[in-house]
Amino acid sequence: MTGRLELAILASGSSGNAAIVRDAETGRSLLVDCGICASAFFGRCDEAGVDPSEIEAVLVTHGHSDHTSGLGVVLRGLAKRGCTPPLYAHSLTRSASKKITETDGLVEQFDIAHGKPFEVAGMTVTPFPTSHDSEGSTCFRFEVGDDAIGYMTDTGVVTPKAHEALTGVRILAIESNHDKAMLKEGPYPPFLKWRILGNEGHLSNAQCRKQVVSLLHPSLEHVVAMHVSENNNTFELPAEVLSEALAAHGHGACVHVALPDRPITVS
């Protein structure tokens, strides 16, 4: 069954992140993060069949450059198309991010608070805290009617509030960053390995699997592995791990893997 909400992931990974949540009935859309250049953003919107002029707001999860580096150029590009979507982020993220500060005057900016839903583009958006080494780190639940998307990436652990926010969604986009053995045996320096493995780092394939199993319910239709490392993972491993977990529990949800260099759309 196809729901009302669509998720178009334009880029996912350490080289850049951007995704669009779209209401298929109205076309009204939200942009989540923009860590890619303007040419990649507009080109991948075209590939995904998304009209960027329908974007009504930009939501920023946190201030790391792979989530914010393209904000200024993309907002300027949207303005040339007559589109000036306001930007929403946690106050700590806004104050700490130079890339967000550089957009002052381009668009209106609004603070969001964890656990406090707000309405934008006809959707109810619930921000929730993630465990990452960036001030105000946040992810989101999107709802229209009885349809919902859970979107969580860049977190070292899944907090109880995050788990609650992801419960009962039809589309679950969740980080599956690394294979633990590959990371430990790989070329990264020790400090970076421990950062990734730590509580403020990134979820492994095994952590993702455990969380997905805990969130299974009859209406879950799609699971998307996000922010997959090109150095400490493969794009096949998360799909295998999650598919095996779903099969073991007799669940028929489809598994997808978000990519760094081309869009995928889930609806």
pLDDT tens digits, one per residue of 81-134 = 999 999 999 999 999 999 999 998 899 999 999 999 999 999 999 999 999 999
What are 222's two structure tokens?
A: 């799609």
pLDDT by residue (tens digit) across 224-238? Answer: 999 999 999 999 999
Confidence label for 214 from pLDDT (cuts 50, 70 and 90): very high
Confidence label for 1 from pLDDT (cuts 50, 70 and 90): low
Looking at residue 58, its pLDDT comes to: 98
- Measure the CA–CA gap between 32 and 250, rounded to whole angstroms: 32
Q: Are strands 222-226 and 254-257 parallel, antiparallel or unpaired?
A: parallel
Q: DSSP of 193-209, one letter per residue?
A: HHHHHSTTS--BHHHHH
Predicted TM-score (pTM) of this structure: 0.97
Looking at residue 221, its pLDDT comes to: 98
- Measure the CA–CA gap between 191 and 97, rounded to whole angstroms: 23
Residue 144 has pLDDT above 70, yes or no: yes
Cβ neighbours of residue 251 closer than 8 Å, sequence gap 6 or more: 216, 220
pLDDT by residue (tens digit) across 153-185? Answer: 999 999 999 999 999 999 999 999 999 999 999
- Measure the CA–CA gap between 202 and 233, rounded to whole angstroms: 12
**Residue listed under structure tokens 């805990």:** 214
Q: Which residue has the higher pLDDT, 77 or 105?
A: 77
- Measure the CA–CA gap between 265 and 110, rounded to whole angstroms: 28
What domains are there in the chain, each with its CATH number?
5-261 (3.60.15.10)
- Measure the CA–CA gap between 228 and 235, rounded to whole angstroms: 7
Looking at residue 261, its pLDDT comes to: 95
Q: Which residue has the higher pLDDT, 203 or 3?
A: 203
